[in-house]
């Protein structure tokens, strides 16, 4: 259950982003998570309300895009989809592949309410 | 992965970078901000500090090795055998991670080796901040190798860079030869897979060492595989040869002005580097941050990690 620790790091980043951009409430958080990042999107969703309670990101919507596992073949150059525990080139079946996508654990973007809107809601 | 120079921008997320710059107004009046930072950016930043600390001693730089495995795979027994085989307790320091107890640190100290126990409480992994705190309690003078014995767990520790140069994942032969297929993230992170308790292979008919190695290859790893039994002192000499070789290689890197990050991160850096070479996006690693450390180490952006095996 390291997803809570990951969520706490995320909330810290959200607070920094908000503070650097006028201090508005965080409305939407877009993440990109790959199966090989070691983090489960579903567990992040469960942990986020706990980690964000009482912060500028409380009640923010979490939009998680699950990145596909894709590999680039060092032999034939093809890029193809692969399973996390069967990383073979889809074109030539070779095993000399490099991961092109699938290990991301990325905070892509954040949408903030304008500072005035945030202040109005606090009243 | 570097979060500051734009090398996080990949084919997968390039479309998200707003044409008008980092900030864009959405239709409903919100401010949209492109961030593109690793969720563990703060941990990774601390890990870079730790690595700089290990690397700060020039030709006497320290090699840091992170040992990961299931609970009970024999990490502490391996360390005990390693201490005996190296012969000089002053060359080694051990950082022990467990949820509770000082038991493992006590076993290491009984061998005359400096050991710090991190009791993580309920945390299932070590992170870079815990290791940083432990480093404050350690004297690295005259030390060649720091072993970090992670919490026994084949899941969470794989996601946290601690500042180590190498990951070693232990797989004991009592666990099953399909473990790499079941825990791909962990075994992809390994710079070396060490099969342990191999003296028991004689009485186990369901562990095939070739199958274990094939399962490792299928998660996209080219890492070497060694066999050892710490209890019977079989194969420990090959492990020692590997470690001593890696120490020499690491010091050569330091002399050449580079360092090394563990397998998975290095692979990402390699991919990004090849994209940059193709001119896909402007990519300069010339910037340096001053972190106020006094070891004069300039960890310029993504460090010039030697990604060769």
Asked if the Cβ–Cβ distance from B31 to A107 is below 8 Å, we say: no
Q: Is residue B298 scored above 80 in pLDDT?
A: no
Instruction: Identify which has the larger pLDDT, B23 or A18.
Output: A18
Nearest Cβ partner of A24 from B11, B26, B31?
A: B31
Q: Is residue B175 scored above 90 in pLDDT?
A: yes
> Measured between alpha carbons, how far is B202 from B207 in angstroms, rounded to an integer?
10
Cβ of residue B184 closer than 8 Å to a chain A Cβ: yes
pLDDT at residue A115, as a whole number: 64
Residue spans of chain A under pLDDT 50: none
Q: Is residue B3 scored above 70 in pLDDT?
A: no
Contact B105, B137 (CB under 8 A): no
Name the DSSP class of A24.
P
> Measured between alpha carbons, how far is B278 from A73 in angstroms, rounded to an integer?
17
> Measured between alpha carbons, how far is A74 from B209 in angstroms, rounded to an integer?
27
Average pLDDT, chain B: 83
Task: Write out chain B residues lying below 8 Å of A101, CB-based.
Answer: 10-12
Asked if the Cβ–Cβ distance from A13 to B32 is below 8 Å, we say: no
Asked if the Cβ–Cβ distance from B268 to A103 is below 8 Å, we say: yes
pLDDT at residue B111, as a whole number: 97
Q: Which residue of B has its CA nearest to A4?
A: B123
pLDDT digits (tens, 9 = 90+) for B25-58: 666 778 899 998 889 888 999 999 999 999 998 8
Q: Provide CB contacts within 8 A for A46, sequence distance 6+.
A: A3
Task: Write out chain B residues lying below 8 Å of A47, CB-based.
Answer: none
Contact B140, B61 (CB under 8 A): no
Which of A7, A112, A16, A35 lies closest to B23, judged by CA? A112
Asked if the Cβ–Cβ distance from A98 to B36 is below 8 Å, we say: no
Which of B216, B174, B177, B175 lies closest to B193, judged by CA? B216
Average pLDDT for residues B128-132, to the nearest whole number? 96
> Measured between alpha carbons, how far is B248 from B96 in angstroms, rounded to an integer?
24
Average pLDDT for residues B291-302, to the nearest whole number? 40
pLDDT at residue B309, as a whole number: 38
Q: In which band, very low, low, confident or very high, does the pLDDT at B122 lie, cut at 50, 70 and 90?
A: confident
Length of chain A: 123
Task: Write out chain B residues lying below 8 Å of A110, CB-based.
Answer: 32-33, 35
ipTM higher than the 0.90 cut: no
Nearest Cβ partner of B16 from A12, A71, A109?
A: A109
**What DSSP letter does each residue of B179-240 carry, written as one string?**
HHHH-HHHHHT-SEEEEE-GGGGGG-SS--HHHHHHHHHHTT----EEE-BTTTTBSHHHHH
What token pair was written down for A12? 């810290």
pLDDT at residue B288, as a whole number: 39
pLDDT at residue B20, as a whole number: 45
Q: Give the best residue of B220, B261, B263, B270 to mutate against chain A (max A CB count within 10 A).
A: B220
> Measured between alpha carbons, how far is B26 from B22 in angstroms, rounded to an integer?
13
pLDDT digits (tens, 9 = 90+) for B147-168: 999 999 999 999 899 999 999 9
Three-state secondary structure of B146-176:
EEEECCCCCCHHHHCCCCCCEEEEEEECCCC
Q: Is B301 left (phi over 0), alpha (psi -120 to 50) or beta?
A: left
Shortest distance between the Cα of B147 and any Cα of chain A, in A, equals 22
What token pair was written down for B197? 């308790």
Q: What are phi and psi for residue B117, nearest 5 degrees?
A: -95, 130
Asked if the Cβ–Cβ distance from A113 to B39 is below 8 Å, we say: no
**Please, is B82 exposed, middle or buried when counting C-beta atoms within 10 Å of its C-beta (0-12, 13-18, 19+)?**
buried
Inter-chain CB pairs, A–B, below 8 Å:
138
Average pLDDT for residues B113-136, to the nearest whole number? 93
**Please, is A120 exposed, middle or buried when counting C-beta atoms within 10 Å of its C-beta (0-12, 13-18, 19+)?**
exposed
Q: Is residue B121 scored above 90 in pLDDT?
A: no
Three-state secondary structure of B248-306:
HHHHHHHHCCCECCCHHHHHHHHHHHHHHHCCCCCCCCCCCCCCCCCCCCCCCCCCCEC
Instruction: Identify which has the larger pLDDT, B42 or B144.
Output: B144
Q: Is residue B304 scored above 50 in pLDDT?
A: no
pLDDT digits (tens, 9 = 90+) for B206-257: 999 999 999 999 998 989 999 999 999 999 999 999 999 999 999 999 999 9
Asked if the Cβ–Cβ distance from B267 to A98 is below 8 Å, we say: yes
Its pTM stands at: 0.80
Q: Which residue of A has its CA nearest to B36?
A: A108
Which of A47, A64, A37 lies closest to A9, judged by CA? A47
Q: Is residue B268 scored above 60 in pLDDT?
A: no
Task: Write out chain B residues lying below 8 Å of A21, CB-based.
Answer: 23, 31, 33
**What DSSP letter does each residue of A74-106 carry, written as one string?**
TTT--EEE-BTTB---TTT--S-EEEEES--EE
Average pLDDT for residues B186-207, to the nearest whole number? 96
Residue that the structure tokens 């090989």 belong to: A36
């Amino acid at each position: 259950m390291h997803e809570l620790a990951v969520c706490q790091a995320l909330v810290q980043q959200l607070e920094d982003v908000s503070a650097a951009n006028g201090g508005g409430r965080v409305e939407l958080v877009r993440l990109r998570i790959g199966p090989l990042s070691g983090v489960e999107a579903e567990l992040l969703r469960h942990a986020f309300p706990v980690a964000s309670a009482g912060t500028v990101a409380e009640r923010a919507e979490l939009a998680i895009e699950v990145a596909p596992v894709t590999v680039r073949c060092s032999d034939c150059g093809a890029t193809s989809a692969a399973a996390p525990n069967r990383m073979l080139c889809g074109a030539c079946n070779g095993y000399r592949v490099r991961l092109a996508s699938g290990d991301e654990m990325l905070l892509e973007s954040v949408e903030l309410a304008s500072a005035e809107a945030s202040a109005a809601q606090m009243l | 992965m570097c979060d500051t120079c734009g090398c996080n921008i990949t084919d997968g997320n390039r479309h998200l970078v707003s044409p008008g710059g980092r900030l864009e107004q959405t239709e409903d009046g919100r401010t949209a901000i492109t961030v593109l930072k690793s969720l563990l950016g703060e941990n990774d930043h601390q890990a870079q500090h730790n690595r700089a600390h290990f690397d700060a001693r020039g030709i006497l730089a320290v090699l840091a090795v992170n040992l990961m495995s299931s609970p009970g795979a024999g990490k502490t027994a391996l360390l005990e055998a390693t201490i005996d085989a190296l012969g000089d307790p002053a060359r080694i320091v051990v950082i022990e991670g467990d949820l509770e107890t000082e038991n493992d640190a006590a076993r290491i100290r009984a061998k005359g080796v400096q050991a710090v126990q991190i009791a993580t409480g309920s945390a299932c992994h070590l992170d870079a901040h815990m290791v940083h705190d432990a480093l404050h309690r350690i004297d690295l003078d005259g030390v060649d190798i720091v072993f970090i014995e992670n919490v026994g767990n084949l899941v969470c520790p794989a996601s946290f860079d601690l500042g180590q140069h190498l990951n070693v994942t232990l797989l004991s032969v009592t666990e099953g030869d399909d473990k790499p297929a079941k825990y791909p993230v962990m075994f992809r992170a390994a710079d070396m897979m060490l099969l342990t308790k191999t003296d028991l292979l004689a009485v186990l008919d369901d562990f095939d060492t070739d199958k274990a190695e094939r399962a490792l290859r299928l998660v996209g790893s080219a890492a070497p595989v060694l066999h050892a039994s710490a209890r019977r002192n079989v194969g420990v000499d090959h492990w020692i040869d590997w470690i001593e070789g890696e120490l020499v290689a690491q010091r050569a890197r330091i002399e050449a002005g580079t360092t090394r990050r563990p397998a998975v991160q290095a692979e990402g850096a390699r991919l990004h580097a090849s994209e940059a070479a193709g001119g896909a996006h402007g990519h300069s690693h010339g910037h340096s941050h001053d972190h106020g450390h006094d070891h004069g180490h300039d960890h310029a952006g993504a460090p010039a990690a030697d990604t060769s095996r």
